Amino acid sequence: MLEGIKENYYELVHYLQENSRLGGVMGILHWDQEVIMPVGASESRAQQLGTLAGILHEKSSSPEMGKLLDKLSQADESEFSSFEWCNIREARREFDMATQVPKALVTELAELSSRAHLVWVKARSENKFSDFAPVLKRLVDLKIKWAGYVFPDLEPYDANIDLYERGTTQKDITPIFEKLKAELIPLIKAIEESGYKPDAGFLSGHFPLEKQEALGRKISEDMGFMFDQGRMDVSVHPFCGGSHPTDVRITTRYRTDNFVESLYAVIHETGHGLYEQGRMQEGRDLPVSEALTMAIHESQSLFWERMIGQGKQFCAYYLPLIAETFPQNFEGVQPERFYEAVNVSGPSLIRVEADEVTYPMHVILRYELEKGLFDGSINVEHLPGIWNAKMKEYLGVEPPTDTLGVLQDTHWSGGAFGYFPSYTLGAVYASQFYQALIRAKPDMEKQIEMGNFAPVRKWLGSQIHQHGRLLSVPALVKQVTGENLNPDSFLVYLKNKYRQIYRLN
């Protein structure tokens, strides 16, 4: 019996590896499309991706897969290692999600999100929310229906969140976000009203692309990114993609009048890249080794970008190199001044341009709107008004147009509801992890000040990257930090840092 069950497992492994490789292939096609594909190829590329998506869906929802999983589900968990059981569990989840939704709904969702994206692009450019509203409403309706099929025991919005942040529900998120709101709104106001403004003028100037590129590459390499198993290129929006842990591809974008934005994009994407390159050696073509959730992925990029890269020690260590790279701007600049300049905070209209203090408010606003859309307490037509009112309340600014307000993000147009919370959960986890690291290695900041990042990378690797999907998020966070999801470290970190920078004490 055990013999037979193990054979079933090995058959499953074969299927899963094939699917993982197809997923990797799609990763390369996406990367190619964003980075180097000739513009004229967009239609043929869409068809290639469509064909692959179809094959992948067919394979992960095939009757053979179903039969195999049924046999494996009858076995006892104890007959498998936790590694094996994780693969079975992941395959089951994938199969159920792919097969429980009626085909008509799948098709309508796919077609509608594809059309909605075009509608959104046009509506945004013409500042006409009313053009986008009907498709948005339909998307919400379909996603509520979808939730009923896939996770009938969850509230519809929780089901959507589960896609990105499995096991986390509004019950977990709402109190965290309420606490953040309560403490961050006053902090944002205090920063705004502070008489002290860090001088960041020296960060503007002319910064040749080749020099920026070399600087970014050096810092990424110092952080531990392996360029023999990855690449760094240019795309319109920075991202981390690729096809395999041995083929991790990060991107950034360059502006000649500002190097900080690009540099911190490199650091952010390197954080994602280190997670991928750091996956366990065994089972790299199996779900067990994959990154856990969106928030944990984001915790890694934010850890490096914010906890490390925007920290005092990092700024102090790299200032000489940066000053050597851009001598005309950095003459006489002291580390403290550089540190303050990269940490300037202030309310703004656009989420992706927000700093670490104001960013959570952008996310909380969207979370509250999505919640309302899914529980029926908010009508789509009222979104612009509510958006603007909340912006005023949370950040003290009001979008002059919907293009700079409710129409700014691409997520909803693609049917991605429940994604936004991951950004801020990631920030919260990042600061919890940082606290745990400091407790485990009290001389860490001294190491960073000497440019030694290996201990940080190794700690993240052994504590997080190596575990793949073996543990749930709550179990992992508990194991690493000794506590549950908790906004306190994040709030203490923000308040200490920004009170000092803005002389608020």
Q: What's the CA angle centered on 14, arms 12 and 15, to 5 degrees? A: 65
Give me the half-sphere count of Cα atoms (radius 13 Å) on the Cβ side of residue 278: 27
Taking the complex as a whole, the smallest distance from the CB of residue 175 to a copy of itself amounts, in Å, to: 42
Taking the complex as a whole, the smallest distance from the CB of residue 15 to a copy of itself amounts, in Å, to: 11
Catalytic residue among 84, 165, 183, 269: 269
C-alpha to C-alpha distances, 435 to 123, 238, 270, nearest whole angstrom? 44, 28, 21
Closest by CA to 206, choosing from 253, 258, 252, is: 258
Nearer residue to a copy of itself within complex by CB, 17 or 447: 17
Nearer residue to a copy of itself within complex by CB, 51 or 81: 51
Nearer residue to a copy of itself within complex by CB, 5 or 25: 25
Taking the complex as a whole, the smallest distance from the CB of residue 420 to a copy of itself amounts, in Å, to: 32
Alpha-helical (H) ranges within 396-453 are: 421-440, 444-449
Closest by CA to 90, choosing from 469, 464, 467, is: 469
Nearer residue to a copy of itself within complex by CB, 26 or 97: 26
- What letter would DSSP give residue 100? S
The CA dihedral of 471, 472, 475, 480, to the nearest 10 degrees, is: 70
Taking the complex as a whole, the smallest distance from the CB of residue 226 to a copy of itself amounts, in Å, to: 7
Burial of 161 (0-12, 13-18, 19+ CB in 10 A): buried
Cβ proximity of 209 and 262 under 8 Å: no
Taking the complex as a whole, the smallest distance from the CB of residue 30 to a copy of itself amounts, in Å, to: 11
The CA distance from 143 to 238, in Å, is 28
CA 429 to chain centre: 12
Taking the complex as a whole, the smallest distance from the CB of residue 453 to a copy of itself amounts, in Å, to: 20
The CA distance from 153 to 191, in Å, is 44
- Two tokens at 439? 């407790």
Tell me, yes or no, if 269 is annotated catalytic: yes
- Two tokens at 86? 């994780």
Nearer residue to a copy of itself within complex by CB, 40 or 442: 40
Kind plus residue range of the DSSP H or E element containing 249: strand 247-252
Alpha-helical (H) ranges within 100-242 are: 103-126, 129-150, 156-164, 170-193, 209-223
Residue 85: count other Cβ atoms within 10 Å of its Cβ. Answer: 19
The CA distance from 345 to 363, in Å, is 16
Nearer residue to a copy of itself within complex by CB, 58 or 178: 58
Nearer residue to a copy of itself within complex by CB, 283 or 418: 283
Taking the complex as a whole, the smallest distance from the CB of residue 103 to a copy of itself amounts, in Å, to: 17
Residues 6+ apart with CB under 8 A from 220: 227, 232, 250, 266, 267, 270, 273
Taking the complex as a whole, the smallest distance from the CB of residue 374 to a copy of itself amounts, in Å, to: 37
Nearer residue to a copy of itself within complex by CB, 90 or 285: 285
* Helix axis angle, 2-35 to 82-99, nearest 10°: 60
Cβ proximity of 484 and 478 under 8 Å: yes
Binding stretches for a copy of itself (CB under 8 A): 17-18, 21-22, 24-25, 28-29, 32, 36-41, 43-45, 47-48, 51-52, 54-55, 226-231, 243-244, 246-247, 284-285
The CA distance from 101 to 225, in Å, is 40
Residue 453: count other Cβ atoms within 10 Å of its Cβ. Answer: 20
Taking the complex as a whole, the smallest distance from the CB of residue 39 to a copy of itself amounts, in Å, to: 5
Nearer residue to a copy of itself within complex by CB, 47 or 130: 47
Active site residues: 269
